[in-house]
Structure 1
Amino acid sequence: MKVLIATDKPFAKVAVDGIRKEIEAAGYELALLEKYTEKAQLLDAVKDANAIIIRSDIIDAEVLDAAKELKIVVRAGAGYDNVDLEAATAHNVCVMNTPGQNSNAVAELAFGMMVMAVRNMYNGTSGTELKGKKLGIHAYGNVGRNVARIAKGFGMEIFAFDAFCPKEVIEKDGVKAVDSADELYSTCNVVSLHIPATAETKNSINYALVNKMPKGGVLVNTARKEVINETELIQLMEERADLKYMTDIMPAANETFAAKFVGRYFSTPKKMGAQTAEANINAGIAAAQQIVGFLKDGCEKFRVNKK
């Protein structure tokens, strides 16, 4: 069996070493495709792969067509919208993610952005504190729970909305569950986004919703670019000079945001939520372990596509 690591943004060496140890201990071969610059390189590398570990790399129907021996793809991370799930199912390929492995890293970055925002981008002027402020967590999954844990240390009042998470699960963590996104945004000084990009959520963070935030509101996005209605958020921020937007996913309209909202907008140059040594290692090794479990025992615990 051949396992391919295909990463245009490579894992750290220590992560690759950990993956190799897991794969070779199971008696499988490990192959590396790192920092590739053309899709043709990926298409060639997958031809004889039985399993693939990826990060933000695109696995579409063309890649799956080329990978005649492929049985499983594991996305080292939580989000998996870079994989065509329907095409994978059609090719009888199992797709998994590694939920929870990057969660603390993303949550810490969200707080780094919150502090940066309330301290006016460290421009030397007097800012405000997070202590005592109301924090809204939009989606209470693995990252959201880590955000709540950290927020307690800051002394924030914590609220969360998640249409798919029972209220009692949220409230047992000492977090106040609200009934709607409207209520969350109306209530909170800071909102941290953790929703996936789905048909329902794309462009859902719009003028009407964000405009409900109190004066001085801060919106932090470490989730997905597609959930933001950029045109409407630009319009709102033009009308409301008190709002700030901090994002780990550079908007399509980044130049417009940066030019119009100096001191109120920040984007990382590339998605950095999971870019820590610890998350890198954790997600990579988890991916390797899941592949071994699937190939040896048929374990599909973290499968995200249909059979």
Structure 2
Amino acid sequence: MSKKILIATDKPFASEAVKGIKNVIDQAGYELVLLEKYTEKQQLLDAVANVDAAIIRSDIFDNDVFEAAKQLKIVVRAGAGFDNIDLEAATSHGVCAMNTPGQNANAVAELAFGLAVYAVRNFYNGTSGTELAGKKLGIHAYGNVGRNVARIAKGFNMEVYAFDPFLSAEAIEKEGVKAVKTVEELYSTCEFVSLHIPATAETKNSINYELLNKLPKKALLINTARKEVINEAEIVKLMEDRIDVKYVTDILPSNHAEMAEKFAGRYFSTPKKMGAQTAEANTNAGIAAANQIVDFIKNGNECFRVNK
């Protein structure tokens, strides 16, 4: 019996991405099942009931989904973040969960600089702004996105610093980036900080008043990571106390209306998370997910597994 591979996306892939995924699945001799723009969880529960693998984007795969997915062996999040998958539930149901690291990295990095330029030019309000050249940029987490941010920053002639507790200073500095020993050092050194940390128990609410208050004068915080890492109440207090600080993000805060009203000219958020929303990233991540599923089914390759 042919393996069934589900694409479950309430926010669909671009049509080119679906074609690319279908081509990979067809060549493997598997069957594609497509669920797009669903509006009820029951639609997802019905769709997963008899499939062997699933490709998702920001769709929630919780215990209910795994309970319904009796044949499921692998779920791949087409993108770097995977906090929409209940990893413990996946493990308890014998399902391998994966992400597709690096496929969206350039798209997110480019958006970070789009936001940065927008902010330093005073949101294009016609007044005189500043330049990025010669400024210190701190990269908080030096993974795939962080590396792309560093590459672009060098083109802007910025002085680039990075902090990542999981990498050695040698690994960072061999790429022409200055490694700092602590997160506090990063924030006290750099006028610009670009966030690329995941949302974990350790990082949630970690970007708080105490840390942000270490920023030099006329600082800019850029968040293309996760909403949960920001302590939203404390960033409001920080921006009230520090009228020199700007904040730009592509994750709409829960207190967006308050921030937009209080900090007009110093704050901007996109209406929805859009770091990976390019045709290229969309296609790359989807096809990577399909290839990883085929490799897992045929060869048992668990290279990008994120659960235990």
Query: Would you call these one fold, judging by a TM-score over 0.5?
Result: yes
Distance (Å, rounded) in 2 between the aligned partners of 1:38 and 1:123: 42
Map of 1:180 onto structure 2:
182
Shift of 1:49: 1.0
Q: Secondary structure at the match of 2:181?
A: coil
Alpha-carbon offset, residue 239 of structure 1: 1.0
- Quote the RMSD (CA, aligned, Å): 0.5
Select the residue among 266, 270, 283 that pairs with 1:268. 270
CA deviation profile, 1:41-75 (whole Å, cap 9, x unmatched): 11111111110000000000000000001000000
Distance in 2 of aligned mates of 1:43 and 1:125: 53
**Equivalences for 1:53-92 in 2 at 5 Å?**
53-92=55-94
Question: Are positions 1:208 and 2:210 aligned together?
Answer: yes
The 2-side partners of 1:165 and 1:223 are apart by: 19
In structure 1, what residue type is equivalent to 2:261? A
Q: Which amino acid aligns with 2:260?
A: A
For each residue in 1:146-174, what CA deviation from the matched residue of structure 2 results, as whole angstroms up to 9, or x when unmatched? 00000000000000000011111100010
Q: Distance in 1 between matches of 2:4 and 2:265?
A: 50
Which amino acid letter does the alignment assign opposite residue 25 of structure 2?
I
Cα distance in 1 between the residues matched to 2:197 and 2:262: 26
- Secondary structure at the aligned position of 1:3 is classed as strand
- TM normalised by structure 1 equals 0.99
For the residues of structure 2 that align with 1:85 and 1:196, how far apart are their CA atoms? 15
Identity %: 74
Q: Distance in 1 between matches of 2:46 and 2:264?
A: 45
Find the residue that maps to 1:213 and give its secondary structure. Answer: coil
- What per-residue deviation string (whole Å, max 9, x for no partner) do you get for residues 148-204 of structure 1? 000000000000000011111100010000011110000001000000001100000
Corresponding position of 1:292: 294
Equivalent-residue separation in structure 2 for 1:234 and 1:35 (angstroms): 35
So what's the TM-score if we normalise by structure 2? 0.99
- The one-letter code of the counterpart of 1:23 is I
Matched residue of 1:73: which SS?
A: strand
Aligned to 2:108: 106
1:81-139 deviation per Cα after TM superposition (whole angstroms, max 9, x unaligned): 00000000000000000000000000000000000010000000000000000000000
Q: 1-side partners of 2:179 and 2:224: how far apart?
A: 21
Listed as ranges, the gaps of 5+ residues in structure 1 are: none
Which consecutive aligned stretches of 4+ in structure 1 deviate over 4 angstroms post-superposition? none
- Structure 1 residue 24 corresponds to structure 2 residue 32: no
Deviation at 1:240, TM superposition (A): 1.0
How far has the Cα of 1:279 moved from its partner?
0.3
DSSP-derived class of the 1:234 partner: helix
Q: Distance in 2 between matches of 1:140 and 1:200?
A: 17
Distance in 2, Cα, partners of 1:125 & 1:53: 46
| Structure 1 CA distance for aligned equivalents of residues 53 and 260 of structure 2 | 41
Describe how 1:44-55 pairs up with structure 2 within 5 A.
44-55=46-57
Q: What residue in structure 1 maps to residue 127 of structure 2? A: 125
What residue is the counterpart of 2:139 in the other structure? 137
1:253 aligns with 2:255: yes
Q: What is residue 221 of structure 2 aligned with on the other side?
A: 219
**1:5, 1:254 → 2: CA distance?**
32
Query: What residue ranges of structure 2 are gaps of 5+ in the alignment?
Result: none
> One-letter code of the match for 1:78?
A
**What is the CA–CA distance in structure 2 between the aligned matches of 1:131 and 1:103, rounded to whole Å?**
22
The letter for the 2-side match of 1:207 is: Y
The code of the aligned residue for 2:130 comes to T
CA distance in 1, matches of 2:14, 2:221: 31
**What residue in structure 2 maps to residue 154 of structure 1?**
156
Letter in 1 for 2:116: M
Q: Whole-Å Cα distance in 2 between the matches of residues 117 and 38 of structure 1?
A: 38
Task: Please name the residue that 1:93 is paired with.
Answer: 95
Give the Cα–Cα distance (whole angstroms) in 2 for the partners of residues 256 and 4 of structure 1.
40
